[in-house]
Amino acid sequence: MKKTHRYILLFLAIIINALFLSGCWDQRELDELVVPFIIGYDYANEEEKEQPDDRYLISAGFPVFYEDTLKKYHVDITSGSLDGEVINRRNTHFGEQIIQGQLQIVVLGEELISNENIMELTDILSRNPAVKGAIPMAVSAGRAADMLNAPVKQYPNPGIYIQMLIKNIRRTNFFPTCSLFESNRHIISNHTAPLLPYIVQKDGNIMFAGSCLLNEGKRIEHLDREETEIAVMLRGIRSRGMITFDVIEDNKIIDQVTFEGMNKRKVDVKKDGDRYIFNILIKLSGRLFERKKNEPVIDHKDFIKLSQKSLEDLIRKRAEDFVAKVQEEYGFDALELGMEIKGHSREKLSKEDIDKIIQESEINVEVKVQIENAGGKI
């Protein structure tokens, strides 16, 4: 606990020093300051609206500083239609100066993203010069306001915990952070489907539970963690992650190992008359760094080959299942093949045209795994 507190204080000290060194204090009063680093958006219920036309309930998590003295993490909740409007109200109510330049993450409530095109919201945020386009976005199970206030075991600050969780996802889960800029680009183009991390509260913790797949700016599907990994690979989003799987020999499980590596995608497109044929190659390269069994491997090279084939078969099966779901249930380009189609068509294609092509195409998946272990040890 003491070590965790030191990390949090160090993180906050870096924020303050960065602000001071940038010279942004020249025109501001220094005696009272609010620096939100996480913001959540929900629908505003009638009883929560401060004004009849308010649409959003906006939750801001921040540490509060009074003359260089740190007070504990606090979440302030205000209704409004625009960020600027909410900030002005909060400044008026509390007399504190809000600085948006250190915002680290945006969390969207599940109900909001399931029922409303978030293009207006992401556009408003991306146009705010104080908000960095690289900040990550996530979707919370339930309300974002509750997530920002959720108690986390052995962690005093749920806001910083959520921020660290989202950053760590990209290191272990084959899931690159989807930034505000990327989300806005996806939604505005209307030809691609953003994939946002999905977080839940469970047993006193906040956990990564897969992703939300958006179509036309709304949540269409919730993907579990395995489906999220496969979606990322099929969409060609280069990322890093870990997969634990069974090593199979002669239809028997001989061990369980964990693979760590990176993914790439290659797509070959052909046309047979009016029908498209996609051959998707997923490449995984990395290492085995953990085995369930303790006894040494007798034939290292043979074990590596068995591991590669076992992982290839597993990923291929999951990929084929996901492709079938996209074609039979989703009905839109969740595989990010639209640009490949445009590159092979002289016609001007609409989103509806591309979605129909995806449904009617032949889509084949092949997987190639390359495992390298230094020194012949696992």
- Strand locations in 216-326 (E): 218-223, 240-249, 252-272, 275-291
In a domain, 228, yes or no: no
Residues 217 and 313 in one domain: no
Residues 240 and 372 in one domain: yes
Q: What's the token pair of residue 263? A: 């993914």
Residues 190 and 134 in one domain: yes
pLDDT of residue 82: 59
**Which of 162-166, 197-201, 239-243 has the least mean pLDDT?**
162-166
In a domain, 193, yes or no: yes
Residues 161 and 291 in one domain: no
Indicate if the pLDDT at residue 225 is higher than 50. yes
Q: Tell me which amino acid residue 25 is.
A: W
Highest mean pLDDT of the ranges 102-106, 215-219, 340-344, 364-368: 364-368
Q: What residues are paired with 264 via a beta bridge?
A: 283
| φ/ψ (deg, to 5) at 50 | -80, -30
Are 237 and 173 spatial neighbours (Cβ–Cβ below 8 Å)?
A: no
372: CATH: 3.30.300.210
Residues 182 and 279 in one domain: no
In a domain, 229, yes or no: no
Determine the average pLDDT of the residues in 269-280. Answer: 93
Residues 310 and 274 in one domain: yes
Q: What is the DSSP letter of 296?
A: P
Where does a domain end: 201, 223, 245? 223
Are 218 and 116 spatial neighbours (Cβ–Cβ below 8 Å)?
A: yes
Q: Could you list the residue range(s) of the whole structural domain that residue 361 is in?
A: 236-378
Position 19 confidence tier, pLDDT thresholds 50, 70, 90: very low
Highest mean pLDDT of the ranges 2-11, 30-39, 63-72, 247-256: 247-256
Indicate if the pLDDT at residue 280 is higher than 60. yes
In a domain, 66, yes or no: yes
In a domain, 230, yes or no: no
In a domain, 26, yes or no: yes
Residues 152 and 271 in one domain: no
pLDDT one-digit tens code per residue, 319-373: 999 999 999 999 889 999 988 888 877 788 888 999 999 999 999 999 999 998 7
Residues 179 and 262 in one domain: no
pLDDT of residue 128: 72
Residues 68 and 116 in one domain: yes
pLDDT one-digit tens code per residue, 71-94: 566 676 777 665 555 555 555 554
Where does a domain end: 202, 223, 244? 223
In a domain, 7, yes or no: yes
Position 269 confidence tier, pLDDT thresholds 50, 70, 90: very high
Residues 134 and 165 in one domain: yes
Residues 80 and 120 in one domain: yes
Residues 259 and 115 in one domain: no
In a domain, 313, yes or no: yes
**Which of 9-18, 115-124, 209-218 has the least mean pLDDT?**
9-18
pLDDT of residue 64: 57
Where does a domain end: 223, 257, 272? 223
pLDDT of residue 300: 83
User: For residue 72, what are the CA distances in angstroms to 8, 91, 196?
Assistant: 11, 19, 29
Q: Report how many domains make up the chain.
A: 2
Q: Output the pTM of the full model.
A: 0.81
pLDDT of residue 71: 53
The helix or strand, by DSSP H or E, that contains position 186, with its residue range, turns out to be: helix 180-189
Q: How far is it, in rounded angstroms, from Cα 241 to Cα 263?
A: 9
